[in-house]
């Protein structure tokens, strides 16, 4: 409940004429507005009106300070406007007759003049200056509040993107850390298995064991050790992949390069696979000759492109159907950046796959031996070492486009 003390007294005309909204209107009209309105006192913290309340009055601040704010979906509040003496507010709901679109509360003890909707709508047609003043007040309000809302939205998006990058970084660090830990015991098991293989193959054993049951047991041991060794090789391969997640495990040298050449060379490395998979890969270079200089890493960017092309082959155009692939190198519209887009026109991905594509181990190809690390490695390379950004857009049946943006000169 508002603890409003309606002073009930009309502010003097000079007090009203100090309010810009009313400063230009004729004396007579000013008098009737002053008579139709009343002054209120609010103590700090009290609410003048809430979002959703009926818009029944126009307000002008006579003294003190108030704030207009709106509550966001996450429960937080976004300040839209600070209201100081001379400022008017609440005209939006008056004009459209709708409910209040935000809440206004007193920040300090304050005095506010209010005039009812009827009196205000009566006064409006009598003074073109009042109409102009109301409109300019409205425009200023809409402009500042939409700027604030936009800034807030952009900040939240940046925070969400940052959190996602952090989450993926933590996950990949964990995986590569586990891989590192597993490596040593795996090596010991491997050595032990080799020793067993050597010993059971030794002449002493094969010659002296004549009992058929002992020979059969020995044969069983040999098969078991073969199985152990085959699986150690597989585990070793997986650990190698997991370690690739940690970019610190890969070395590359930063140098001055033509980015278009690096991209063309990477596509060239993929040529044999492309032929087999019937992929028609076109490199489109939108840069001028002089504008291709990139201070970057050939090896890392090559890995990124090869991973993306491998996915196009495997998932974009599965079953060797083949199709068109575009690799576009261009200059980003903003900032000194290059963008590389790898686009296919194949199967595409459903939204839940798009949101998980950069997670380590997310794969739809596990039955075909995929581990789901490719895009995670790509993400890591782009954000950590190439100091850039990556984005994937895809929809079922509509193909997939991966956009990588990297600085023209990668900072140290
Ligand atoms: N161009 C694409 N078209 C359709 N789906 C794709 C495309 N690229 C990736 N995907 C989907 O994203 C998943 C994750 O890709 P990612 O490269 O991380 O793993 P993977 O290719 O399955 O395994 P790995 O790269 O470790 O061999 C894939 O399993 C696939 O479902
Ligand atoms: Mg892959």
What are the phi and psi torsion angles at 108 (to 5°)? -130, 175
Distance, CA 373 to ligand 2 centroid (Å)? 7
Distance, CA 41 to ligand 1 centroid (Å)? 64
- CB–CB of 239/183 below 8 Å? yes
Nearest CA-CA partner of 57 in 49, 66, 47: 49
Give ion ligand 2 contacts, CB < 5 A. Answer: 311, 374
| Helix/strand number for the chain, H first, E second | 13, 16
pLDDT of residue 300: 93
As a whole number of angstroms, the distance between CA 395 and CA 344 comes to: 11
| pLDDT tier, 364 (very low <50, low <70, confident <90, very high otherwise) | very high
Mutation pick for ligand 1 pocket among 175, 368, 372, 399 (CB with most ligand atoms within 8 Å): 372
What one-character DSSP code corresponds to residue 409? Answer: B
What are the phi and psi torsion angles at 307 (to 5°)? -60, -45
Residue 1 pLDDT > 70, yes or no?
Answer: no
Residue 152 pLDDT > 90, yes or no?
Answer: no
> pTM above the 0.85 mark?
no
Q: Which fold has domain 4-126?
A: Jelly Rolls (2.60.120)
Kindly report the three-state secondary structure assignment for every residue of 35-102.
HHCEEEEECCCCEEECCCCECCEEEEEEECCEEEEEECCCCCEEEEEEECCCCEECHHHHHHCCECCC
Digit-coded pLDDT (tens) for 288-336 = 877 789 999 999 999 999 999 999 999 999 988 899 999 999 998 777 9
pLDDT of residue 3: 39
Atom of ligand 1 nearest to the CA of 373: 26
- The CATH code of domain 164-249 reads 1.10.287
For 282, the enclosing helix (H) or strand (E) is strand 279-285
Q: Which fold has domain 254-407?
A: Heat Shock Protein 90 (3.30.565)
Nearest CA to ligand 1 atom 17: 374
368 three-class SS:
helix
Ligand nearest the Cα of residue 375 is 1
- Listed by start position, the domains of the chain span 4-126, 164-249, 254-407
What one-character DSSP code corresponds to residue 9? Answer: P
Other beta carbons within 10 angstroms of residue 212's beta carbon come to 8
pLDDT of residue 6: 42
Nearest CA-CA partner of 390 in 170, 164, 176: 164
Nearest CA to ligand 1 atom 14: 363
Mean pLDDT of the chain: 88
What are the CB-based long-range contacts (under 8 Å, 24+) for 142-151?
Answer: 144/80, 144/81, 145/68, 145/80, 145/81, 145/102, 148/78, 148/79, 148/80, 149/78, 149/80
Beta bridge partners of 283: 327
Ligand nearest the Cα of residue 244 is 1
Residue 246 pLDDT > 80, yes or no?
Answer: no
Ligand nearest the Cα of residue 313 is 1
Distance, CA 364 to ligand 2 centroid (Å)? 10
Region of poorest pLDDT, from 1-15, 134-148, 240-254, 371-385: 1-15
Region of poorest pLDDT, from 6-10, 81-85, 184-188: 6-10
105: exposed, middle or buried (C-beta count within 10 Å: 0-12, 13-18, 19+)?
Answer: middle
As a whole number of angstroms, the distance between CA 125 and CA 131 comes to: 8
Region of poorest pLDDT, from 142-146, 186-190, 272-276: 142-146
Nearest CA to ligand 1 atom 19: 372
Distance, CA 363 to ligand 1 centroid (Å)? 6
Ligand 1 binding residues, C-beta < 6 A: 311-312, 314-316, 344, 346-347, 349, 353, 357, 362-365, 370-376, 400
Q: Any residues with CB less than 8 A from the CB of 401 and at least 6 apart, and which?
A: 341, 342, 343, 344, 392, 393, 394
Average pLDDT over residues 72-93: 87
Nearest CA to ligand 1 atom 29: 363
| pLDDT tier, 127 (very low <50, low <70, confident <90, very high otherwise) | confident
pLDDT of residue 248: 60
Other beta carbons within 10 angstroms of residue 271's beta carbon come to 11
From residue 162, how far is each of 5, 172, 351, 374, 407 by CA, in Å?
48, 15, 21, 21, 18
Give DSSP secondary structure letters for 296-324.
Answer: EEHHHHHHHHHHHHHHIIIIISGGGT-EE
- CB–CB of 403/340 below 8 Å? yes
Ligand nearest the Cα of residue 366 is 1
| Domains 4-126 and 164-249 alike in fold | no
Residue 249 pLDDT > 60, yes or no?
Answer: no
What are the phi and psi torsion angles at 5 (to 5°)? -100, 105
Nearest CA to ligand 1 atom 25: 374
pLDDT of residue 304: 96
pLDDT of residue 247: 62
- CB–CB of 297/338 below 8 Å? no
Digit-coded pLDDT (tens) for 28-42 = 888 888 888 888 999
């Amino acid at each position: 409940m508002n603890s409003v003390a309606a002073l009930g007294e009309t502010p003097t005309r000079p007090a009203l004429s100090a309010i810009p909204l009313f400063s230009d209107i004729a004396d007579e009209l000013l008098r009737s507005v002053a008579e139709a309105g009343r002054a209120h006192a609010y103590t700090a913290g009290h609410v003048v009106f809430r979002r959703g309340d009926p818009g029944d009055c126009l307000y002008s601040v006579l003294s003190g300070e108030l704030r207009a704010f709106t509550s966001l979906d996450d429960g937080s509040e976004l300040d839209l406007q600070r209201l100081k003496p001379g400022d008017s507010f609440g005209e939006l709901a008056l004009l459209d007759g709708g409910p209040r679109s935000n809440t206004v509360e007193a920040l300090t003890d304050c005095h506010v003049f209010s005039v009812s909707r009827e009196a205000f709508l009566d006064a409006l047609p009598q003074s073109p200056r009042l109409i102009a003043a109301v409109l300019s007040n409205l425009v200023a309000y809409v402009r500042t509040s939409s700027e604030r809302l936009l800034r807030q939205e952009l900040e939240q998006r940046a925070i969400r993107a940052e959190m996602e990058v952090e989450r993926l970084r933590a996950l990949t660090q964990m995986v590569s850390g586990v891989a590192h830990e597993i490596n040593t015991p795996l090596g010991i098991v491997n050595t032990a298995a080799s020793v067993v293989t050597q010993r059971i193959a030794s002449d002493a054993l094969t010659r002296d064991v004549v009992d058929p049951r002992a020979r059969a047991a020995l044969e069983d041991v040999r098969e078991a050790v073969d199985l152990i060794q085959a699986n150690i090789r597989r585990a070793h391969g997986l650990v190698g992949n997991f370690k690739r997640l940690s970019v610190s495990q890969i070395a590359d040298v930063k140098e001055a390069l033509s980015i278009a050449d690096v991209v063309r060379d990477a596509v060239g490395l993929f040529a044999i696979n492309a032929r087999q998979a019937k992929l028609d890969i076109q490199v489109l270079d939108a840069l001028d000759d002089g504008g291709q200089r990139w201070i970057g890493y050939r090896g890392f960017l090559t890995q990124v492109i090869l991973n993306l092309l491998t996915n196009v082959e495997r998932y974009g155009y599965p079953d060797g159907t083949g199709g068109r692939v575009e690799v576009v190198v261009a200059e980003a519209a903003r900032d000194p950046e290059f963008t590389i887009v790898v686009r296919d026109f194949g199967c595409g991905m459903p939204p839940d796959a798009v949101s998980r594509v950069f997670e380590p181990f997310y794969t739809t190809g596990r039955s075909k031996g995929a581990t789901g690390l490719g895009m995670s490695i790509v993400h890591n390379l782009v954000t950590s070492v190439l100091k850039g950004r990556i984005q994937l857009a895809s929809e079922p049946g509509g193909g997939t486009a991966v956009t990588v943006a990297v600085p023209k000169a990668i900072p140290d």
